[in-house]
Structure 1
Amino acid sequence: MNQPAEPTPHRRAALAFIFVTVMLDMLAFGIIIPVLPHLIVDLIGGSIARAAVWVGAFGALYMTMQFVFSPVQGALSDRYGRRTVILISSLGLGVDFIVMALAPVLWLLFLGRAVSGVCAASFSTANAYIADIVPKEKRAAAFGMLGAAFGIGFIVGPALGGFLGHWNLRLPFWVAASLSLVNFCYGYFVLPESLPKERRTASFDWRHANPFGAVVLLRRYPQVFALATVFFLINLAQFSLNSTYVLFTDYRFGWGPQAVGYTLGLVGVCSGLVQAVLVRRLMPKLGERRMILIGLSLCVLGYLAFGLAPTALLFLLAIPVFCLGGLAGPPAQSMMTHQVDPHEQGRLQGALTSLASLAGIFGPAMFANLFALFISDHAPVSHLPGAAFVLAAMLLAVATLVAIRATRHVPQTAHPDDVSLANVQPAMGDVPTPGIPSPHSAEQTR
């Protein structure tokens, strides 16, 4: 087996671009987080409870599009390369944000979310790009660096969106469009291809480029399939935040777009520290299995605290606990890439994104309607507006039990995951043929 080649300035620039791509895309999505629900309220002229139902419908539509098209994008990147998919994604998102900024009626805004779901491939393809160029023993830390990029975008995006939305609810959409188009131009001139033609799949196979064919791929790898189940439950629970955070904090604590933006900025700070610092430092000490189980357990505690916090202060104090749950994502993602053939990394990413999207089809409507029920006069339990977060904690408790069983034979020793943008080495020599949001991070609060 050949040793990985020494890093070149070209490769370093490529990894830096992937980092910037994820950060800019997260920034673009983060900017609209504090304003999209309020824009829906304005367009329908309805109550918060009615708007919550529409927010759930928007989320379900977005994820339905991702469920259908993510395997297609993964298979296309395996066949035609990562660069093409990333560039088309950035360009499509830029144009789509412009359409949403101009939307005078709800149905056009609804259509814009559908197009966003089709185009949002850069997160999953970025992970496949990392699997192409980073050796196996360093991937967990590399995925942690991508998580840090999410965190940086999440720090600035919602805070900026809340500030801009204070002046005009549509202004954040224009800024998001500009960021996506700048990212396209940057990638067009900087990004090299990570998957050479001789290492790509021979043809594009529609049997595998669909959500159900993608699940068949997961079933070929038993440990991957079990971890994918954990992955699905994580993403399903995440939609309790995606679909209710803005309206819940407005109802419970009276927070407007600006306060929501600042608190989501706090989430970004904590998440960035976890992904960029703690993952890399704790991996050699804890190993992949312990990191996954500790992260899931902290997620359970975080969701319970969100749902049951009686005051805004206690809600804020729960944010660092919840963000520590991010310790589970990078090692789980790394573990799955180890099990899959190198030339199928794009299909693996597409399959995992489809699972996240499947969670997104049911999650937003389920949690948004649960929130609406528990703030209505027909609530089965009085004064429990955080019921959606309590349900999320229960789902993560199940995910923890599945992870315990799925990883019971994983050694406790860890690889020395000392990765930075400056020292990542391409893994082309590690495998016969090179070929995953973090979806837990990739799906944003909406």
Structure 2
Amino acid sequence: MDKRLPPLLVAVFINIAGFSLILPLLPFYGQVFDASPFGIALLFAAYSFGNVFGEIHWGRQSDIWGRRKVLAITTFIAGVSYFAFAYAPNLWVAIIIRMLSGFFSGTMSVAQGFIADVSTPEKRAKTMGLFGAAFSLGFAFGPVIGGVFAGTEVAASSFRLPIFIAGGFSIMASLWCLIVLRDAVAPKGKGAPLPRYREAFHFVGTRPILLRLFIIGFFGIAAFASMEAIYGLWTEENFGWNAHDLGWAFLAIGAGGFIAQIFLIGPLVARFGEARVIVIGLVLLSLSMLLQPIIRLPVSGILLMGLLMAGHSLAFPTAGALISRNTPPERQGSTMGLLMASNALGRIIAPPIFGAIYGSIAHDAPWYIGAGMIGLVIVLALQLVKITSAAKTAV
């Protein structure tokens, strides 16, 4: 392992811990503003909306300024935005601040660029696995901290301390990047060209494998993000959970992703191939959503969300890897840029829709609709197995 990589992984862990620390608070913090389920889901979607623009902007900016400088600046400003979020006077100001937080936190492409700088192509998959593990660990521990330090009353003062801690985590990550992290390559002085989305649309639309993978990614990630958005409201109603309880539940979610990233995805891909692993991940996603309102027990509420995250961690990183493997080098930038935009669109559009369904139709309906969405894309994933198997046989 390159000695410049561990400092980046530490920065990713600290940054994601700060980001995920907020997640169990949002359903209850939204209630401070008398927000409807739709409004609370907007708090989740607003971050993703800012995030997609941040990923495009900061990825290119890191080519000009260098990865270290961009990571240090953006995580610092993101940390300051958390302090502003703690004192938001109303829902719409909170949503705007969440957009800004998402924009300045849109640096995963910068971190991935750093990984590309320090790792050879043959070691990149293993390195990305370490990156995913750092992400999942941060996602596991952050919500626990948020839940432990949150108050029990539905009042702004109950949530300020954990939000301050989230801001402190981001500022800590900024200082870490500034002091410890070192660029692997010198800044290029100019940004990479923007993805050519029109060409990428045509390219993906004419490739059966890629088209199915893009549809799977869009609907799968949309459903997953929507379950995250309604989970706090649903468990509050069914189990009487508060932010403390939800924080511990998110530990299981992060643990599910960590186990899948570290122990499962490599051996499963080696034995069954990418397409079948995508099917396995989607089946776990659909099953966890379907069983949640049927079993309706606190222990299943935790375990099934861990299963949900495990399915997510198996299906979508594998889909991204399969897209990259079936895309020629000259089209990698535009195709992966389109993938990022497509997935982000799902995270932006779907949570408010599912929040509205939760509030106006039935509280269990999002689980069943989400399971149905995943069930439909499983059909595409099974077609993908046949297409990739036929391609291997032809070779």
Counterpart among 375, 383, 390 of residue 405 in structure 1? 383
Q: Cα gap change, 1:313/1:387 in structure 2, threshold over 3 Å: closer, same or farther? A: same
State the AA in 1 paired with 2:21: I
> What does residue 146 of structure 2 align with?
161
Shift of 1:217: 3.0
* Residue 289, structure 1, aligned to residue 275, structure 2: yes
2:150–2:159 contact (8 Å) kept in structure 1? yes
Task: State the AA in 2 paired with 1:217.
Answer: A
Are 1:186 and 2:176 matched, yes or no?
yes
Candidates 144, 164, 177, aligned match of 1:174: 164
TM-superposed deviation, 1:138:
4.2
**Distance change in 2, residues 1:243/1:225 (3 Å):** same
1:275 correspondence with 2:258: no
Identify the match of residue 78 of structure 2 among 84, 93, 100: 93
Kindly indicate whether residue 362 of structure 2 is the aligned counterpart of residue 387 of structure 1: no
> Residue 338 of structure 1 aligns with which residue?
325
Contact (CA 8 Å) 1:87, 1:184: kept in 2 or not?
Answer: yes
Any residues of structure 2 matched to 1:52-201 within 5 Å, and which? 52-77=37-62, 81-166=66-151, 168-194=158-184, 196=186
Q: Secondary structure at the match of 1:121?
A: coil
Amino acid at match of 2:366: A
TM-score, normalising length: structure 2? 0.85
More deviation, 345-354/150-159: 345-354
Give how far 1:291 is off: 1.6
Residue 368 of structure 1, CA deviation: 0.5
Q: CA deviation at 1:185?
A: 1.2
Distance 1:297 1:333 in 2: 18
More helix by share: 2
Q: Which residue of 2 aligns with 1:220?
A: 203
User: What does the per-residue CA deviation read over 1:75-105, in whole Å, with 9 as the maximum and x for residues that have no partner?
Assistant: 4445655444433331221111121123233
Aligned mates of 1:354, 1:163 — CA distance in 2: 35
Q: Structure 1, residues 263-316: CA drift from partner, whole Å, max 9, x if none?
A: 111221222112112223333222222222211121111111124333333333
Change (3 A) 1:219 1:21: farther
- Worse overlay, 74-83 or 32-41: 74-83
Contact 2:63 2:187 in 1 (8 A): no
Q: Give yes or no for contact 1:226–1:402 (8 Å, CA) kept in 2.
A: yes
Cα pair distance change 1:214/1:312, threshold 3 Å: same
Q: Please name the residue that 1:323 is paired with.
A: 309
Residue in structure 2 matching 1:251, options 224, 237, 242: 237
Match of 1:441 in 2: none
> After the TM superposition, which of the residue ranges 84-93 and 29-38 deviates more from structure 2?
84-93
Match of 1:429 in 2: none
**SS of 2:24's equivalent?**
coil
The change in CA–CA distance for 1:190 and 1:335 in structure 2 (over 3 A counts) is: farther
| Structure 1 unaligned regions, length at least 5 | 1-6, 376-384, 415-446
Measured after TM superposition, the shift of residue 247 of structure 1 is 0.7
In structure 2, the CA distance between the partners of 1:33 and 1:197, relative to structure 1 (3 Å rule), is closer
Report the counterpart of residue 155 of structure 2 in structure 1.
none
Cα separation, partners in 2 of 1:269 and 1:66, compared to 1, 3 Å: closer
8 A contact 1:74–1:347 mirrored in 2 = no
Answer yes or no: is 1:264 the counterpart of 2:250.
Answer: yes
Q: Displacement, 1:348?
A: 5.1
Q: Structure 1 residues 77 and 411, CA, compared in 2 at 3 Å: closer, same or farther?
A: farther
Identity %: 26
Alpha carbons of 1:59 and 1:40: their partners in 2 closer, same or farther (altered >3 Å)?
Answer: same
Cα distance in 1 between the residues matched to 2:235 and 2:340:
28
* Contact 1:162 1:261 survives alignment (8 Å): yes
Q: Cα distance, 1:131 vs. partner?
A: 4.0
Residue 182 of structure 2: SS of its match in structure 1?
Answer: coil
Separation (CA, whole Å) in 2 of partners of 1:75 and 1:347: 13
Aligned partner letter, 2:376: V
Q: CA shift at 1:330, angstroms?
A: 2.9
C-alpha distance in structure 2 between counterparts of 1:344 and 1:130, whole Å: 20
1:347, distance to aligned residue in structure 2 (A)? 5.5
* Structure 2 residue runs without a partner (length 5+): 153-157
Deviation of 1:344 after TM superposition, in Å, equals 6.9
- Residues 366-375 or 335-344, more deviating: 335-344
Change (3 A) 1:327 1:30: same
User: Do the aligned partners of residues 87 and 402 (structure 1) sit closer, same or farther apart at CA in structure 2, a change above 3 Å counting?
Assistant: farther
- Residue number among 346, 352, 360 corresponding to 1:365 in the alignment: 352
> Aligned-pair distance for 1:140?
3.9
Amino acid at match of 2:370: A
Contact 2:67 2:183 in 1 (8 A): yes
Q: For 1:205-239, what per-residue CA distance to the aligned partner results, in whole angstroms no more than 9, with x for missing partners?
A: 4xx36xxx436436435344542322111211112
1:126-169 per-residue CA deviation (whole Å, 9 max, x = no partner) reads 23433444444544443332222222112211111111112731
Report the residue type matching 1:401 in the other structure.
V
Q: Cα gap change, 1:309/1:60 in structure 2, threshold over 3 Å: closer, same or farther?
A: same
* Distance change (3 Å), C-alpha of 1:215 and 1:134: farther
Alignment length, in residue pairs?
383
1:235 corresponds in structure 2 to 221
Is the contact between residue 31 and residue 157 of structure 1 (CA under 8 Å) also seen in structure 2?
A: yes
1:134–1:394: structure 2 CA closer, same or farther, 3 Å change rule?
farther
CA shift for structure 1 position 255: 0.9
> Cα RMSD over matched residues?
3.0
SS in 2 for 1:255: coil
Are the aligned partners of 1:292 and 1:331 in contact in 2 as well (CA < 8 Å)? Answer: yes
Q: Is the partner of 1:237 in helix, strand or coil?
A: helix
Change (3 A) 1:52 1:267: same
Task: Indicate the residue corresponding to 1:355 in structure 2.
Answer: 342
Q: Answer whether contact 2:54 2:107 (CA < 8 A) is retained.
A: no
